[in-house]
């Protein structure tokens, strides 16, 4: 299956934070042909394990984390006319929800729309006002009785958007590319590793609940305690109105982060491997804790040296996220070459860094 | 007093290498066990004079990192854009001298000459996104010969004596804590304890998390340099701490509530030994205590700070007596709680 | 249960100074459990030993309060918050310290309440000057709201319903379960410092390493005039939490709770809390992760000195929790 098709399936799968089952099962089936063992842990993290080639009682391990969850909505009330009030799970710009198609996961899946007020009925004064979640509603076109039968407080709602390939370019658009693109990248890496020899054991982890506080990464890292961790997430893609220092150009490869959340030896090694294999990349300067699973991985137990590789995405946290598939391919390759390259000596170098 | 040499060393959160190196070199040759952990914390176990069997494991912590900046992009003109590492007020940045990257390339945070500014412009405070660092480069290519994106930047400030008995320099938060910790490690006839020189405190007490997990102490005392705002613009109750009134004991901050028993213990000790002390009259801010108190099954934690004016800016001021009284108090605490 | 509620809501115990409330709770439960001890940081842990899995129940003992940061020359005290204290319930209110000293809060000259900040507020304990003040109160002392427990009809009103109501549920539960054989090991943990960041629960969970956890706490309701939207009301039974800012209940745990409530004819509500957290937030990400849920007691005016709950809701929360503890579904 081409990576574009893998990404399409992943993008269209549902997996709002805390309710990642569908996305997790799909990801599991996609990892299956390339790994030795697959399981789900206490909080639902997907752990796909591929054994390393080093003959040793204790093989070193590397943990690659991409998050399975996407931002979504949650029902807070079914009102007297069958309309649904909601709140958010994860960060949303309320202005991007007005007119958005959604799927309410009640007793069965119900398509609906976050109904905007028709422009004809909007007064001059209202037109300039801030849009707030509490003033919005989801319309599933059901009567109060029927709605109450099928929908309850606490049901999740996912954003509905069909995946789309753009013309004359390798760009694609869809919802949840944050971070299904990361998952697709890990699958790509797993595929590549089939044809490579690597000393390290590899854990491909689809973490849960990253969008609400990197919660899955906290517990999955704690269980596995790898020697090295790499988070694979998305970063901001270039677009008008955003400065160069805050974004990465699409189609120029993945971004490798540097900063206090990143182990300097790992950051340098990733750059070295990229240069060696002519994989173009961008450097992302992160002056503090990164808003990704790397933040949790680094400080688990006695600490895990970690790095962060990101795929540039435009319009993050909207249903029309855009990525360049070549960036995804390159990120997958970079990680595969990196894993094939590292060995005990390298691990020692990481540990000896002073 | 190690502070004189520690203060000028560049060591922004994530780039504590040089500070760590200096501290390592100052450690006593015998009677200590030294290890690094993967985040870069320096953990030093001091074997002291024999103490009773079930003496509590005491951890003293001070952080090596300081607030600073990181290069985020390079303009075509050769000017460098930067982001803040740790908490800094944007208004303190302009017209300061800095050192960039591993090679410590000198630079300045420049601003438009006042002659060229319109009235409205002059009234608005500077924001970091509008500032830049000038290293004297002619172009982007020229700049890239010396620096790169991701390079850390620290203030360039020397350490001097000021007034009658005060010191002025950068990063007193928390090189003052590191200095006190080094002095305690060098002293002979001390009880056993563990010293943790932590990293990345300023970006969310990150290093302390792994250090505390590894050590799992019974009691922890965090040594800090904390805000003293005993200046004309602040009202009495807004001073937080006052220079010359001795070590400041934290009651609570946003990351930890000091263990009450430890706090009472410290107060009694200070009174018994005639060491002046004060309370930190402020509940804002966070320290390594936040991470240490909650590691593993939990640790009883207290925070003792040397009052410093103007922390998180290029020049802080502290009073010598406060430094020595803090050292004395911690020493008394160690002797009192282990034998 | 009303006498118990009166006793424990009126006991002093702000975050970081839970000694008194811990003593009171300890006396209530010590004869009804296999073991009760205070852990490293001060959580009170009561155990009913048994076989795996280990179910941890948590209710926090601490309440919000005001800490003294400065005593001025005229005997006025400057204060800051311990936990989430809103300005709107301070001015003119009475607060009491551990030693019984009572003070009232007022503010410096302001044009409107929008200008209120901690640095403009102060407490007056009626001292004549600084020396007089420090005889009674000092920097670091903490005061809690000075309000008695009241029963009016089926509604109960008091300060610290958050979360003495949860503690009362666990205490009553411990007593009811005494003598019954339990399908698995259960720990009842009265945690400290929840109000300042779920701190006690974090280390308690790490030490106990449970397989499942359920926190019992209060939650907001939306049944007051023009209230911020919230589909939980007083008098409609305990609320089973779906999500708040600190935790998304494990779907299986939530499902178990719903089934147990339904099977036993206990009316329940479903809760989505947009802003707010509970001990489950710290427990569920402990070690390798702990599937967790929360059962909430609906409460009006949370974090004010007059929090109000319904006594039937309180009883039904105990009923639900009793069935939860006796249920073999945790295997």
Task: Identify whether the C-beta of residue B21 lies closer than 8 Å to the C-beta of residue B102.
Answer: no
Task: Identify whether the C-beta of residue B13 lies closer than 8 Å to the C-beta of residue B85.
Answer: yes
| Count of A-C CB contacts under 8 Å | 67
Looking at the fold, whether C243 and C112 belong to one and the same domain comes out as no
pLDDT band at residue B48 using 50, 70 and 90 as cut-offs: confident
CB contact under 8 A, B210 and A287: no
pTM above 0.80, yes or no: yes
Q: Could you say which DSSP state residue B28 is in?
A: -
Distance set, CA C51 to CA A80, C54, C183, C325, C330 (Å): 48, 7, 8, 13, 12
Looking at the fold, whether A284 and A342 belong to one and the same domain comes out as yes
pLDDT band at residue B230 using 50, 70 and 90 as cut-offs: confident
Query: Does the pLDDT value for residue B51 go beyond 70?
Result: no
The C residues from 202 to 241 touching A (CB cutoff 8 Å) are 229-231
Tell which of B149, B150, B212 to mutate to test the A interface (max A CBs under 10 Å).
Answer: B150
Tell which of B230, B234, B237, B267 to mutate to test the C interface (max C CBs under 10 Å).
Answer: B237
List of chain A residues whose C-beta atoms are within 8 Å of the C-beta of residue C289: 41-43, 45, 216, 219-220, 222-223
Looking at the fold, whether A184 and A294 belong to one and the same domain comes out as yes
CB contact under 8 A, A303 and B39: yes
Residues 6+ apart with CB under 8 A from C208: C45, C54, C56, C187, C189
Tell which of C16, C65, C141, C206 to mutate to test the B interface (max B CBs under 10 Å).
Answer: C16
List of chain C residues whose C-beta atoms are within 8 Å of the C-beta of residue B297: 39-41, 203, 206-207
Task: Identify whether the C-beta of residue A41 lies closer than 8 Å to the C-beta of residue A217.
Answer: no
Looking at the fold, whether C47 and C83 belong to one and the same domain comes out as no
Looking at the fold, whether A59 and A81 belong to one and the same domain comes out as no
Q: Please name the member of B17, B37, B40 whose beta carbon is closest to the beta carbon of A302.
A: B37
A143 part of a folded domain: yes
Q: Which residue of A has its CA nearest to B212?
A: A302
- A46 exposed, middle or buried (CB, 10 Å; 0-12, 13-18, 19+)? buried
Judged by DSSP in three states, C281 sits in helix
A331 part of a folded domain: yes
* CATH number, domain containing residue A202: 3.40.630.10
How many angstroms separate the CA of residue C26 from the nearest CA in chain A? Answer: 32
Matching residue, tokens 């517990």? A219
How far is it, in rounded angstroms, from Cα B201 to Cα B286? 9
Query: Does the pLDDT value for residue C104 go beyond 80?
Result: yes
Chains in contact with B, where contact requires at least 3 CB pairs less than 8 Å apart? A, C
C172 part of a folded domain: yes
Distance set, CA B2 to CA B306, B311, C57 (Å): 15, 19, 50
User: Which two tokens mark C244?
Assistant: 């708040």
The C residues from 269 to 328 touching A (CB cutoff 8 Å) are 269-272, 274, 284-291
Looking at the fold, whether C114 and C174 belong to one and the same domain comes out as no
How far is it, in rounded angstroms, from Cα A245 to Cα C251? 41
Residues 6+ apart with CB under 8 A from C16: B252, B257, B258, B260, C62, C82, C142, C192, C193, C196
Helix axes A21-31, A3-12, angle to 10 degrees: 160
Query: Does the pLDDT value for residue C87 go beyond 90?
Result: no
* CATH number, domain containing residue C126: 2.40.30.40
Residues 6+ apart with CB under 8 A from B26: B2, B182, B186
List of chain C residues whose C-beta atoms are within 8 Å of the C-beta of residue B246: none
How many angstroms separate the CA of residue B332 from the nearest CA in chain A? Answer: 31
A168 part of a folded domain: no
CB contact under 8 A, C81 and B238: no
Looking at the fold, whether A110 and A53 belong to one and the same domain comes out as no
Which stretch of DSSP H or E encloses residue C133?
Answer: helix C130-136
C150 part of a folded domain: no
* Last-in-domain residue among A128, A159, A190: A159
Looking at the fold, whether C138 and C219 belong to one and the same domain comes out as no
The answer to whether B252 faces chain C, any CB pair under 8 Å, is yes
CATH topology of domain B3-66+170-337: Aminopeptidase (3.40.630)
Query: Does the pLDDT value for residue C86 go beyond 90?
Result: no
Tell which of B12, B39, B101, B132 to mutate to test the A interface (max A CBs under 10 Å).
Answer: B39
A192 part of a folded domain: yes
Residue B64: HSE in the Cβ half-sphere, 13 Å Cα cutoff = 27
Please give the ipTM for the structure prediction: 0.91
| pLDDT tens track for C266-302 | 999 999 999 999 999 999 999 999 999 999 999 999 9
How far is it, in rounded angstroms, from Cα C54 to Cα C42? 21
Q: Which residue of B has its CA nearest to C140?
A: B251
Q: Do domains B3-66+170-337 and B68-155 have the same CATH topology?
A: no
**Chain-wide mean pLDDT for chain C?**
96
C151 part of a folded domain: no
Looking at the fold, whether A109 and A202 belong to one and the same domain comes out as no
Helix axes A264-276, A325-341, angle to 10 degrees: 110
How far is it, in rounded angstroms, from Cα B218 to Cα B56? 6
List of chain B residues whose C-beta atoms are within 8 Å of the C-beta of residue C79: none
How far is it, in rounded angstroms, from Cα B95 to Cα B82? 15
Looking at the fold, whether C165 and C273 belong to one and the same domain comes out as yes
Binning chain C into helix, strand and coil, the percentages to the nearest 5 are 30, 30, 40
Looking at the fold, whether A131 and A208 belong to one and the same domain comes out as no
Looking at the fold, whether A224 and A314 belong to one and the same domain comes out as yes
Task: Identify whether the C-beta of residue C8 lies closer than 8 Å to the C-beta of residue C21.
Answer: yes
How far is it, in rounded angstroms, from Cα A17 to Cα A43? 11
C260 part of a folded domain: yes
Looking at the fold, whether C194 and C86 belong to one and the same domain comes out as no
Looking at the fold, whether C23 and C128 belong to one and the same domain comes out as no
Of the candidates B83, B61, B88, B63, which has an alpha carbon nearest to the alpha carbon of residue B73?
B83
Looking at the fold, whether C59 and C35 belong to one and the same domain comes out as yes
pLDDT above 70 covers a percentage of chain C that reads: 100
Residue C173 dihedral angles phi and psi, to the nearest 5°: -60, -45
* Last-in-domain residue among C102, C119, C145: C145
* CATH number, domain containing residue A109: 2.40.30.40
Residues 6+ apart with CB under 8 A from C233: C221, C222, C223, C269, C298
Q: Which residue of C has its CA nearest to B282?
A: C69
Looking at the fold, whether C166 and C247 belong to one and the same domain comes out as yes
| The CA-based dihedral angle spanning residues A191, A194, A196, A201, taken in that order and rounded to the nearest 10 degrees | 90
List of chain C residues whose C-beta atoms are within 8 Å of the C-beta of residue B212: none
How far is it, in rounded angstroms, from Cα A331 to Cα A177? 14
| The CA-based dihedral angle spanning residues C243, C244, C248, C254, taken in that order and rounded to the nearest 10 degrees | -40
pLDDT of residue C331: 66
C244 part of a folded domain: yes
CB contact under 8 A, A283 and B206: no
How far is it, in rounded angstroms, from Cα C208 to Cα C55? 10
Number of structural domains in chain C? 2
List of chain C residues whose C-beta atoms are within 8 Å of the C-beta of residue A75: 272
CB contact under 8 A, B85 and A260: yes
User: Which two tokens mark B168?
Assistant: 């002025």
Each residue's pLDDT, cut to its tens digit, for chain A (354 residues) gives 889 999 999 999 999 999 999 999 999 999 999 999 999 999 999 999 999 999 988 899 999 999 999 999 999 999 888 999 999 999 999 989 988 999 999 999 999 999 877 777 778 788 778 888 988 999 999 999 999 999 999 999 999 999 999 987 799 999 999 999 999 999 999 999 999 999 999 999 999 999 999 999 999 999 999 999 999 999 999 998 888 888 999 999 999 999 999 999 999 999 999 999 999 999 999 999 999 999 999 999 999 999 999 999 999 999 999 999 999 999 999 999 999 999 999 999 999 998
pLDDT of residue A122: 78
Query: Does the pLDDT value for residue B116 go beyond 80?
Result: no
The answer to whether B233 faces chain C, any CB pair under 8 Å, is no
Output the DSSP codes for A64-91: EEEE--B-EEEEEEE-TTS-EEEEEES-
Q: Which residue of B has its CA nearest to A261?
A: B14
Matching residue, tokens 């852990």? C39
C152 part of a folded domain: no
CB contact under 8 A, A18 and C287: no
Q: Please name the member of A261, A285, A350 whose beta carbon is closest to the beta carbon of B72.
A: A285
Residue tagged active-site, from A12, A20, A70, A210 = A210
Give the start-to-end residue ranges of the domains of chain B. Answer: 3-66+170-337, 68-155
Q: Could you say which DSSP state residue A339 is in?
A: H
Tell which of B12, B18, B63, B72 to mutate to test the A interface (max A CBs under 10 Å).
Answer: B72
Looking at the fold, whether C165 and C135 belong to one and the same domain comes out as no
How far is it, in rounded angstroms, from Cα B222 to Cα B176? 12
How far is it, in rounded angstroms, from Cα B162 to Cα B179? 19
Looking at the fold, whether C198 and C273 belong to one and the same domain comes out as yes
The answer to whether B230 faces chain C, any CB pair under 8 Å, is no
pLDDT of residue C320: 98
Distance set, CA C288 to CA A216, A222, B259 (Å): 9, 6, 28
Residue tagged active-site, from C185, C194, C195, C322 = C194
Q: Quick one: CA dihedral B253, B254, B260, B266, positive or negative?
A: negative
List of chain C residues whose C-beta atoms are within 8 Å of the C-beta of residue B293: 41, 199
Judged by DSSP in three states, A29 sits in helix
DSSP β-ladder status, C54-60 and C212-219: parallel
| Count of A-B CB contacts under 8 Å | 82
* CATH pick for B68-155 out of 3.40.50.300, 2.40.30.40, 3.40.50.2300, 3.20.20.70: 2.40.30.40
- For the segment B116-121, the average pLDDT, to the nearest whole number, is 80
How many angstroms separate the CA of residue C127 from the nearest CA in chain B? Answer: 17
Binning chain B into helix, strand and coil, the percentages to the nearest 5 are 30, 30, 45
CB contact under 8 A, A350 and B149: no
List of chain A residues whose C-beta atoms are within 8 Å of the C-beta of residue B199: 260
pLDDT band at residue B50 using 50, 70 and 90 as cut-offs: low
Judged by DSSP in three states, A212 sits in coil
Query: Does the pLDDT value for residue B339 go beyond 60?
Result: no
Residues 6+ apart with CB under 8 A from A80: A144
Looking at the fold, whether C283 and C171 belong to one and the same domain comes out as yes
Q: Which residues form the domain of C104?
A: 65-145
User: Which two tokens mark B291?
Assistant: 């991470």
Q: Please name the member of C70, C193, C196 whose beta carbon is closest to the beta carbon of B237.
A: C70
Looking at the fold, whether A55 and A77 belong to one and the same domain comes out as no
Residue B236 dihedral angles phi and psi, to the nearest 5°: -40, -50
Query: Does the pLDDT value for residue B52 go beyond 80?
Result: no
Task: Identify whether the C-beta of residue A169 lies closer than 8 Å to the C-beta of residue A324.
Answer: yes
Q: Which residue of C has its CA nearest to B257?
A: C16
List of chain A residues whose C-beta atoms are within 8 Å of the C-beta of residue B206: 260-261, 289, 298-299
Residues 6+ apart with CB under 8 A from C124: C76, C77, C103, C104, C105, C106
Q: Which residues form the domain of A224?
A: 3-70+175-352
Looking at the fold, whether A124 and A50 belong to one and the same domain comes out as no
Which stretch of DSSP H or E encloses residue B268?
Answer: helix B260-272
Catalytic sites of B, residue numbers: 201
Looking at the fold, whether A42 and A143 belong to one and the same domain comes out as no
A167 part of a folded domain: no
Task: Identify whether the C-beta of residue A297 lies closer than 8 Å to the C-beta of residue A225.
Answer: no
The answer to whether B26 faces chain C, any CB pair under 8 Å, is no
List of chain B residues whose C-beta atoms are within 8 Å of the C-beta of residue A301: 210, 213
C79 part of a folded domain: yes
User: Which two tokens mark C165?
Assistant: 């109501």
Residues 6+ apart with CB under 8 A from A180: A7, A10, A11, A13, A23, A68, A70
Q: Which residue of C has its CA nearest to A85?
A: C229
Q: Please name the member of C72, C81, C196 whose beta carbon is closest to the beta carbon of B237.
A: C72
C75 part of a folded domain: yes
Looking at the fold, whether A264 and A217 belong to one and the same domain comes out as yes
- C130 exposed, middle or buried (CB, 10 Å; 0-12, 13-18, 19+)? middle
Angle at alpha carbon of residue C22, lines to C18 and C27, rounded to 5°: 160
Task: Identify whether the C-beta of residue C66 lies closer than 8 Å to the C-beta of residue C123.
Answer: yes
pLDDT of residue B125: 82
């Amino acid at each position: 299956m081409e990576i574009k098709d893998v990404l399409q399936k992943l993008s269209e799968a549902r997996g709002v934070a805390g309710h990642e089952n569908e996305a997790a099962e799909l990801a599991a089936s996609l990892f299956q042909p390339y790994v030795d063992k697959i399981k789900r842990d206490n909080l639902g993290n997907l752990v796909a394990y591929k054994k390393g080639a080093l003959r040793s009682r204790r093989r070193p391990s590397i943990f690659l984390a991409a998050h399975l969850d996407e931002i979504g909505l949650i029902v807070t009330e079914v009102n007297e006319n069958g309309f649904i009030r909601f709140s958010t799970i994860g960060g949303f710009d309320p202005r991007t929800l007005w007119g958005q198609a959604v799927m309410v996961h009640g007793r069965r899946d119900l398509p609906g729309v976050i109904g905007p007020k028709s422009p004809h009925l909007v007064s001059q004064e209202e037109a300039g006002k801030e849009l707030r979640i509490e003033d919005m509603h989801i319309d599933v076109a059901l009567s109060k009785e029927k709605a109450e039968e099928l929908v309850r407080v606490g049901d999740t709602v996912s954003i509905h958007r069909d995946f789309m390939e753009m013309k004359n370019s390798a760009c694609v658009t869809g919802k949840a590319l944050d971070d299904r693109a990361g998952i697709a990248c890990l699958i790509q890496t797993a595929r590549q590793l089939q044809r490579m020899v690597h000393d390290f054991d590899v854990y491909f982890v689809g973490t849960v609940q990253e969008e609400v506080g990197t919660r899955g990464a906290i517990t999955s890292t704690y269980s596995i305690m790898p020697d090295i961790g790499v988070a694979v997430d998305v970063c901001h893609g270039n677009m008008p109105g955003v400065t160069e220092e805050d974004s990465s150009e699409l189609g120029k490869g993945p971004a490798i982060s540097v900063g206090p959340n990143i182990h300097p030896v790992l950051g340098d090694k990733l750059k070295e491997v990229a240069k060696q294999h002519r994989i173009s990349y961008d450097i992302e300067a992160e002056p503090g804790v990164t808003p990704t699973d790397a933040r949790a991985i680094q400080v688990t137990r006695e600490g895990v040296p970690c790095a962060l590789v990101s795929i540039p995405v435009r319009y993050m946290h909207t249903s029309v996220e855009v990525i360049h598939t070549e960036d995804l391919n390159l990120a997958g390759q970079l990680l595969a070459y990196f894993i094939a390259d590292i060995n005990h000596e390298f691990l020692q170098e990481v540990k000896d860094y002073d | 007093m190690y502070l004189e040499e520690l203060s000028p060393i560049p060591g922004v959160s994530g780039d504590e290498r040089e500070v760590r190196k200096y501290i390592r070199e100052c450690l006593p040759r015998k009677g200590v066990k030294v290890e690094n952990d993967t985040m870069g914390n320096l953990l030093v176990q001091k074997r002291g004079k024999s103490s009773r069997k079930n003496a509590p494991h005491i951890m003293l912590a001070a952080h090596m990192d300081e607030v600073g900046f990181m290069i985020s992009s390079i303009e075509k003109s050769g000017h460098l854009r930067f982001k803040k590492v740790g908490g800094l007020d944007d208004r303190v940045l302009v017209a300061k001298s800095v050192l960039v990257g591993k090679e410590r390339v000198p630079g300045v945070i420049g601003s438009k000459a006042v002659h060229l500014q319109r009235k409205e412009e002059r009234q608005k405070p500077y924001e970091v996104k509008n500032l830049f660092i000038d290293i004297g480069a002619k172009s982007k290519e020229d700049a890239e010969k010396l620096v790169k994106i991701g390079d850390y930047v620290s203030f360039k400030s020397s350490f001097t004596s000021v007034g009658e008995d005060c010191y002025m320099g950068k990063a007193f938060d928390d090189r003052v804590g590191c200095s006190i910790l080094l002095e305690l490690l060098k002293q002979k006839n001390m009880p056993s304890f563990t010293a943790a020189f932590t990293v990345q405190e300023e970006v969310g007490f990150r290093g302390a998390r792994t250090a505390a997990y590894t050590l799992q102490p019974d009691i922890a005392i965090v040594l800090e340099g904390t805000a003293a705002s005993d200046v004309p613009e602040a009202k009495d109750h807004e001073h937080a701490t006052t220079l010359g009134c001795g070590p400041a004991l934290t009651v609570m901050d946003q990351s930890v509530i000091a263990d009450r028993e430890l706090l009472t213990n410290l107060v009694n000790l200070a009174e018994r030994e005639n060491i002046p002390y004060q309370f930190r009259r402020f509940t804002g801010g966070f320290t390594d205590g936040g991470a240490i108190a909650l590691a593993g099954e939990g640790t009883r934690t207290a925070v003792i700070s040397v009052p410093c004016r103007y922390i998180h800016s290029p020049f802080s001021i502290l009073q010598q007596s406060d430094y020595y009284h803090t050292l004395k108090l911690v020493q008394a605490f160690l002797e009192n709680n282990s034998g | 249960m009303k006498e118990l509620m009166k006793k424990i809501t009126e006991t002093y115990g702000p975050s970081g100074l839970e000694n008194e409330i811990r003593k009171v709770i300890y006396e209530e439960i010590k004869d009804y459990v296999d073991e009760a001890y205070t852990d490293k940081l001060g959580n009170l842990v009561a155990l009913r030993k048994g076989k795996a899995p280990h179910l941890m129940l948590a209710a926090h003992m601490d309440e919000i309060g005001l800490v003294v940061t400065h005593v001025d020359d005229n005997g006025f005290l400057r204060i800051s918050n311990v936990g989430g204290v809103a300005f709107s319930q301070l001015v003119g209110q009475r607060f009491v310290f551990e030693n019984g000293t009572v003070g009232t809060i007022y503010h410096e000259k302001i044009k409107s309440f929008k200008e209120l900040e901690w640095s403009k507020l102060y407490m007056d304990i009626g001292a004549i000057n600084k020396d007089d003040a420090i005889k009674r109160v000092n920097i670091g002392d903490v005061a809690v709201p000075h309000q008695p427990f009241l029963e009016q009809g089926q509604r109960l009103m008091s300060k610290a319903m958050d979360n003495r109501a949860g503690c009362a549920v666990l205490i009553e539960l411990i007593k009811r379960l005494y003598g019954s054989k339990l399908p698995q090991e259960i720990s009842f943990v009265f945690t400290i410092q929840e109000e300042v960041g779920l701190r006690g629960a974090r280390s308690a969970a790490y030490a106990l390493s449970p397989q499942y956890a359920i926190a019992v706490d209060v939650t907001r309701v939306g049944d007051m005039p023009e209230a911020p939207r919230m589909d939980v009301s007083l008098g409609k039974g305990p609320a089973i939490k779906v999500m708040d800012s600190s935790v998304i209940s494990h779907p299986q745990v939530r499902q178990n709770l719903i089934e147990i409530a339904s099977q036993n004819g206990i009316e329940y509500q479903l809760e989505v809390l947009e802003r707010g957290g509970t001990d489950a937030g710290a427990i569920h990400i402990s070690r390798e992760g702990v599937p967790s849920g929360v059962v909430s007691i609906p409460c009006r005016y949370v974090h004010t000195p007059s929090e109000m709950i319904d006594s039937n809701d309180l009883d039904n929360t105990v009923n639900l929790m009793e069935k939860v503890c006796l249920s073999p579904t945790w295997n």
